[in-house]
Homo-oligomer: A and B are copies of this chain.
Amino acid sequence: MAENKVYRASTTAPVNIAVVKYWGKRDAKLNLPTNSSLSVTLSQSDLRTLTTASCSASYPAGEDSLLLNGSPSDVTGARTQACFRALRSRRAAIEAADPSLPKLSAMPLRLVSENNFPTAAGLASSAAGFAAFVRAVADLYELPDSPAELSLIARQGSGSACRSLFGGYVAWRMGSLEDGSDSLADLVAEASHWPEMRALILVVSAAKKGVSSTSGMQQTVATSGLFKQRVAEVVPKNMDLMEKAIKDKDFALFAEVTMRDSNSFHASCADTYPPIFYMNDVSKAAVRAVEKINEAAGRTVAAYTFDAGPNCVVYYLEKDEAAVVGSFYKVLGTEVSGWKANAAGHSTDIVLEEPVADTLKTGVSRVIMTGVGEGPQKTDEYLVTENGELVKR
């Protein structure tokens, strides 16, 4: 019965939200970026992908499969195939060196993946997804590769996924080699270095699907007259300042660079031809709210950042939760779900201006309260049974 054995490994992987943004590829096939980027890994208690990788000689031959949140997902795309190929060839090399090992690399793979948050929220689920995929298969194959080495593979699936191989504060070094072998994730600081970092996510419903980030960033590279300045000067400067801010745990600097870099990224989108607009009037109200909170607090206690969509991520430190969460809770507390139990207890004198508050009320559909967290975690929670069947949930 050994040939029917199902081999399994399960991992969870986190979402990351960049504070220096990835936007633009210098090589679309290898997912090599035009610039380095830096992100905060968010806690998996609030946002995570759980992926079970399994393989078995008993699975239908030649049919790798991926079930994503209960729906079959296409695995024939070039990016997914690049990940499968890279992981299999690493396993094959180990098997060649030690013929006593089971020939897992020859078996079909069955991956099952689930997010603990709605995909519709427009959060960067592909980063967590590809990180979990690569980490789970690497564990299944017992690969000796480090997270940085695995990040090279995850990067080919989805660029920003490489940063989700680590917890804490993570850089994606753009690298300079043509084959992309130096374009990988690099731990700037563990979560434990600055564990007080929190994030309040304002989920904003987009009126309609915007431009995909893959096609959007290539339009920016091709058409924006301002973008080359972002690549050549703005991001390198922001990377240096951000690493310093994290090393020194200097929130005011962290916040300023985060906000400036988000502005620079969305300015590059607006300078694309035709222009790409990810932020809407609700997003802009969130910017004004953060500015008001900082002004009223008399120092920088909050930073906004926006990815390729209208959602606002507000970074703040635990000690300033009353001012930051309290200000938003006053406006949105009874309007939307997602608040943690302690949110209602915060009191603040800060009052957001009425047009800002009204716009937030009409446009924010839920909130997520989270903070900096750890990298992928091995788990014995499986989405595939020992017999290779889907776990009923």
Contact = CB atoms under 8 A, between A and B. Distances in A.
B284 A277 contact: yes
Interface in A225-241: 225-226, 228-230, 233-234, 237
A97 interface: no
A228 B225 contact: no
Copy tally for this chain in the complex stands at: 2
A248 interface: no
A264 B271 contact: yes
Interface in A278-331: 280-281, 284, 287, 291
A252 interface: no
B208 A355 contact: yes
A259 B273 contact: yes
A280 B287 CA distance: 14
A263 interface: yes
A102 interface: no
Nearest to A238: B225
Of listed A229, A266, A272, residue having the most chain B CB within 10 A: A229
A270 interface: yes
A260 interface: yes
A291 B270 contact: no
Interface string A103-136: 0000000000000000000000000000000000
Nearest to A223: B260
A287 B234 CA distance: 28
A267 interface: yes
Interface residues of A, number: 33
A263 B275 contact: yes
A54 interface: no
B275 A270 contact: no
A195 interface: no
Contacts of A281: 207, 280-281
Contacts of A229: 225-226, 228-229
A268 interface: yes
B263 A272 contact: yes
A34 to B, nearest CB: 14
A274 interface: yes
Contacts of A271: 226, 263-264, 267
Contacts of A280: 281, 284
Nearest to A225: B234
A272 B263 CA distance: 8
A225 B277 contact: no
Given A230-B226, A260-B225, A270 B274 contact: no
Interface in A247-269: 256, 259-260, 263-264, 266-268
Contact of A263 (B266, B273, B284, B355): B273
Contacts of A266: 270
A251 B15 CA distance: 47
B233 A260 contact: no
Please list the 10 inter-chain residue pairs (A to B) with the smallest Cβ-Cβ separation, ordered nearest first. A267-B271, A229-B229, A225-B234, A267-B267, A267-B270, A226-B226, A281-B281, A263-B275, A226-B229, A277-B284
Given A229-B229, A263-B273, A274-B291, 15 more contacts: A207-B281, A224-B267, A225-B229, A226-B229, A226-B230, A226-B234, A226-B267, A256-B273, A259-B273, A260-B273, A263-B275, A267-B267, A267-B271, A280-B284, A281-B281
5 contacts: A225-B233, A225-B237, A225-B260, A226-B234, A260-B273
